[in-house]
Homo-oligomer: A and B are copies of this chain.
Amino acid sequence: MTMTSTASRPQRSEQETAILEAARDLMASGGVDALSMRALADRVGVSATAIYHYFESKQHLVEHVVRLGFERFGEYLQHGMENYPRGSLERVHALGEAYLRFALENQAYFRVIFSIQPQPERTMADLPEGGGYHLLRQSVVDAMEAGTLRRADPDLMSLYLWSAVHGLVTLTLSCAEPPCEGECMPMSPVQLYEAFSPFIAYGIRAPASSGGHHA
């Protein structure tokens, strides 16, 4: 760490950070297609090939940005639910709403994260590592132990809830930007999520009264 001149050239990690941030901005504006090595290099102030000293390829660079995106995603979800009591249905609900809001507020980014291009070496479990699944699973387990949720395989129920919200998100993002202002569906995605909640709640919460058989 013997550095005599802190000025002049930026440090290795500084430049790498600058590249990552510029890449994130470009990808957030128009997806992975809006990120070209030359345009990125112009933003950072170097030539295109200089980027290859920090990242092996565009693919690796994108994966790095996606990894950072998952971390931000996870923090967003954490903030969205931490004000609701552990074990409550509201906590689970808030998690879903935060998921939805993040996707809507970072559309291009979300598109890249769930690029739908098959990512090898990626399982459903580690897909959102640091990005939410363990939060969801824990809130489900808590609510089951609190007697709020029907007893079932927590992974199964978590994946079900995840699917429902994720499906709403991806359907929304497959449509025009002002989502569903049409005649048939004059509701915002968040409103739709609220309207879905009864269906979801009926399906997952524990029976109200002490009831007969458990199927």
Contact = CB atoms under 8 A, between A and B. Distances in A.
B116 A180 contact: no
Residue from A163, A176, A184, A185 having most chain B Cβ neighbours under 10 A = A163
Contacts of A7: none
Contacts of A173: 116, 118
A105 interface: no
Given A202-B204, A203-B202, A176 B122 contact: yes
Interface in A137-166: 150, 152-153, 155-157, 159-160, 162-166
A185 B163 CA distance: 14
Contact of A215 (B114, B169, B181, B198): B198
Q: How many copies does the complex hold?
A: 2
Interface stretch (A37-45, A69-77, A81-89, A123-131): A123-131
Contacts of A127: 171, 174-175
Interface of A: 31, 107, 111, 114-127, 150, 152-153, 155-157, 159-160, 162-177, 179-185, 192, 195-196, 198-204, 215
Given A31-B117, A123-B184, 4 more contacts: A114-B174, A124-B175, A152-B199, A163-B165
